[in-house]
Amino acid sequence: MPLQISLRSLYTQSHKLAPTLSLSFLPHLRRTMATSGDIVNPTTTRVGWIGTGVMGCSMCSHIIKAGFKLTVFNRTISKAQPLVDLGANLASSPLAVAAQSDVVFSIVGYPSDVRSVLLDPTSGALAGLRPGGVLVDMTTSEPSLASEIAAAAAAKGCKAVDAPVSGGDRGAKNASLAIFAGGNEGEVRRLNPLFSLLGKVNYMGESGKGQFAKLANQITIASTMVGLVEGMIYAHKAGLDVSLFLNAISTGAAGSKSLDLYGSRILQRDFEPGFFVNHFVKDLGICLKECQNMGLALPGLALAQQLYVSLKAHGEGNLGTQALILSLERLNNVSLQSAARGGSGSGSGSS
């Protein structure tokens, strides 16, 4: 006679049935619960991560240290090795990550990469995700792609959240990132135990709104960076000690996060990337495209984009965004290299 157990009887008589339940049934039960709206926690939620570069590696380490089971994928396997050493499982494809996960994060380079790792029908994460699973894309990407991913996920009985971040490598290391989330508000709340390990999540609205918020963030940073390096060039040309100048303005109205993160790094000619020029050019290009769609004229954004494009033209795309000083130095035939005496601001970070 077939075994039939109603949900009511399973609930009311669980203490009687528990000794006879197959141990192999319990992980299945936990997985079903983890993808059906229960609170996210290390016991019931398996996490996947695609992209373990400058940002992703640090972010993943926080998740592992919090006790979550983590499965990772990265095209360059060596960049995932530090996480494997911490206990992460290494998967052979985004699909393989999703097959072993309830929530899959991605943070990759370009919109084309996002489309490939999430939506490819043969190797993408969505193809391997069970109904009830969640995709969380933290790449700065196109709002329209975020909406497309959300629609594709919904068609499969899954969910998607666009959650790009700001704060760069320093924010990733210190778990102090600003996270801009778009999608179902309840789902964003449910994922907060994971988001809180990485920084502060800010709910921005429906699918795509997280990306719109991040693009507005990049527009703000772009003009701020131009102002910072122009002020430094001017101070240098005027014969000021640039280090003393940066210290002086840091507590006044001209003080900014960009100054705190990049002031001394620029003076020390430290152009190691907390955020790549190549990726910032990509971001600003998406901003300009969205401005065209909206009929917006933002001349500060356009100027900043051209200055960063000039860095790429000089082969400096793999430097950090603070390398913008090089573009202004060339434009004015000056160099701040002799002004490096330590000084204001320290650390790394970015957009």
Q: What does each of the 351 residues of the chain score in pLDDT, given as a tens digit?
A: 444 444 444 344 444 444 433 444 444 444 444 454 678 999 999 999 999 998 999 999 999 999 999 999 999 999 999 999 999 999 999 999 999 999 999 999 999 999 999 999 999 999 999 999 999 999 999 999 999 999 999 999 999 999 999 998 889 999 999 999 999 999 999 999 999 999 999 999 999 999 999 999 999 999 999 999 999 999 999 999 999 999 999 999 999 989 999 999 999 999 999 889 999 999 999 999 999 999 999 999 999 999 999 999 999 999 999 999 999 999 999 999 865 544 444 444 446
Predicted confidence (pLDDT) per residue in 171-206, tens digit: 999 999 999 999 999 999 999 999 999 999 999 999
User: Choosing from 200, 214, 237, 312, which is the catalytic residue?
Assistant: 214
CB-count burial class (<10 Å; 0-12, 13-18, 19+) for 49 = buried
- Torsions phi, psi for 46 (to 5 deg): -100, 130
Structural domains of the chain, with CATH = 47-206 (3.40.50.720), 213-332 (1.10.1040.10)
Residue 249 tokens, joined: 């303005």
Residues of the chain by 3-state class (helix, strand, coil), percent to 5:
55, 10, 35
SS3 label, residue 348: coil
Alpha-carbon span 124 to 95, nearest angstrom = 5
CA distances from 220 to 128, 230, 256, 258 (A): 38, 16, 11, 11
Has 237 been annotated as catalytic? no
On average, the pLDDT of the chain sits at 89
Q: What is the reported pTM?
A: 0.84
Which residue reads 């609205």 in tokens?
A: 205
**β pairing state of 46-50 and 103-106:** parallel
The pLDDT of residue 163: 98
Q: Which of 133, 120, 68 is nearest to 93 (CA)?
A: 120
Are 105 and 72 in contact, with CB atoms under 8 Å apart? no
Which residue reads 């640039």 in tokens?
A: 242
Predicted confidence (pLDDT) per residue in 67-78, tens digit: 999 999 999 999
